Amino acid sequence: MSIYKIKLDKKRCIACQACEVHCKVKNNVPAGIQLNHIFVEGPRARKDGRPEFATKYQPCLMCKEPKCVPACPTGAMTMRESDGLVYVRTELCDGCKACVEACPWSVPVFNELTGRIMKCDYCMDRIEQGLDPACVTGCTAKALSFTRP
């Protein structure tokens, strides 16, 4: 299981989607694809009559036993033993989409432009530099936080 977590403070989230934008820019994600999602439900009326939104943030869940890893026939989908981060070794990916079908949360996505899979890896390169993932850094309302050991 990943030793890292991205957590959403629902009381702070304003559903601005800055987390999604920063992820797309950092990872050069083409239009029509997202590696993370902010889901917004509402508005609905509170007891006092004011509108209320419910938000949920979904990056990769970094499963303890990810179904995408054993589903990958080329070994491109990998779990790093040192910290449990699940990522794609792009050079090994043949675009078969087995990982997409195996993931119950539809986290891996197929990139039509490259013919390969993309997925949230918590900005592994940034973590290795001691930085937070781009979604956390770019969160306008500081609603996302990154937990490291």
Percent of the chain residues topping a pLDDT of 90: 88
Confidence class for position 55, pLDDT limits 50, 70, 90: very high
CA 59 to chain centre: 2
Q: What is the pTM of this model?
A: 0.90
Residue 47 pLDDT > 90, yes or no?
Answer: no
Q: What is the pLDDT of residues 14-31, one digit of tens each?
A: 999 999 999 999 999 999
Residue 21: CATH number of its domain: 3.30.70.20
pLDDT (tens digit, 9 = 90+) per residue, 27-39? 999 999 999 999 9
pLDDT digits (tens, 9 = 90+) for 112-126: 999 999 999 999 999
Cα 47 to Cα 42, 50, 51, distances in angstroms: 14, 8, 9
pLDDT at 1: 67
Number of domains comprising the chain: 1
60-110 pLDDT tens trace = 999 999 999 999 999 999 999 999 999 999 999 999 999 999 999 999 999
* Cis amide leading into 104 (omega within 30): no
Range of the domain at 90: 5-147
